[in-house]
Amino acid sequence: MRTTITHLIRFSYTHIVKKVLFLFNPEAVHTSATSLGKKLGDFRLTENIMTSLFATKAPSIAQSLFTIQFSSPVGLAAGFDYKAELTHVLPCLGFGFGTVGTLTNLPYEGNPRPMLGRLPKSRSLMVNKGFKNRGIEATLETLRDKTFAYPVGVSIGKTNTSAITTQEQAVEDVVAAFIKAEKSEVPFAYYELNISCPNLFGSIEFYEPHHLEQLLTAVQEVGVRRPIFVKMPISKTDEEIFDMMDVIVQHDCIKAVIFGNLQRDRGAPSLRPDEVAQFPKGNFSGIPCQQRSDELIRMIFKKYGSRIKIIGCGGIFSAEDAYRKIKYGASLVQLITGLVFEGPQLTSQINEGLATLLTRDGYRYITEAVGVDA
DSSP string covering 283-331, please?
Answer: EE-SHHHHHHHHHHHHHHHHHHTTT-EEEEES---SHHHHHHHHHHT-S
Say what the pLDDT of residue 197 is: 67
Say what the pLDDT of residue 237 is: 96
Q: Say whether pLDDT at 269 is over 90.
A: yes
The Cβ of residue 15 has, within 10 Å, a number of other Cβ atoms equal to: 9
Q: Average pLDDT, whole number, for the chain?
A: 93
Model pLDDT for residues 201-228, shown as the tens digit of each residue: 667 889 999 999 999 999 999 999 999 9
- Mean pLDDT score, 294-311: 97
Local confidence band at 9 (pLDDT 50, 70, 90 cut-offs) = confident
Local confidence band at 46 (pLDDT 50, 70, 90 cut-offs) = confident
Say what the pLDDT of residue 23 is: 93
Q: Say whether pLDDT at 57 is over 90.
A: no
Local confidence band at 1 (pLDDT 50, 70, 90 cut-offs) = low
- Mean pLDDT score, 242-262: 96
Say what the pLDDT of residue 199 is: 60
Q: Say whether pLDDT at 359 is over 90.
A: yes
The Cβ of residue 361 has, within 10 Å, a number of other Cβ atoms equal to: 12
Which domains are delineated in the chain? 2-368 (3.20.20.70)
- Mean pLDDT score, 238-247: 97
Order of strands, edge to edge, in the sheet holding 124-127?
116-119, 124-127, 283-284
Say what the pLDDT of residue 188 is: 94
Q: Say whether pLDDT at 56 is over 80.
A: no
Contacts 24+ apart (CB under 8 A), 139-145: 139/82, 139/83, 139/84, 139/100, 139/101, 139/103, 140/84, 140/103, 140/180, 140/181, 140/184, 140/186, 141/184, 142/83, 142/84, 143/84, 143/87, 143/100, 143/186, 143/188, 144/184, 144/185, 144/186
Model pLDDT for residues 173-183, shown as the tens digit of each residue: 999 999 999 99
Return d(Cα 216, Cα 102) in angstroms, integer. 18
Say what the pLDDT of residue 38 is: 85
Among 146-155, 160-169, 308-317, 339-348, whose mean pLDDT is lowest? Answer: 160-169
- Mean pLDDT score, 130-154: 92
- Mean pLDDT score, 287-305: 97
- The angle at the Cα of 220, spanning 218 to 224, to the nearest 5 degrees, equals 125
Q: Which residues contact 243 (CB under 8 A, 6 or more apart)?
A: 209
Among 5-9, 87-91, 201-205, 270-274, whose mean pLDDT is lowest? Answer: 201-205
Model pLDDT for residues 30-42, shown as the tens digit of each residue: 999 998 888 888 8
Local confidence band at 122 (pLDDT 50, 70, 90 cut-offs) = very high
153 forms beta bridges with: 99, 190
Q: Say whether pLDDT at 74 is over 80.
A: yes
Say what the pLDDT of residue 11 is: 87
- Mean pLDDT score, 349-372: 97
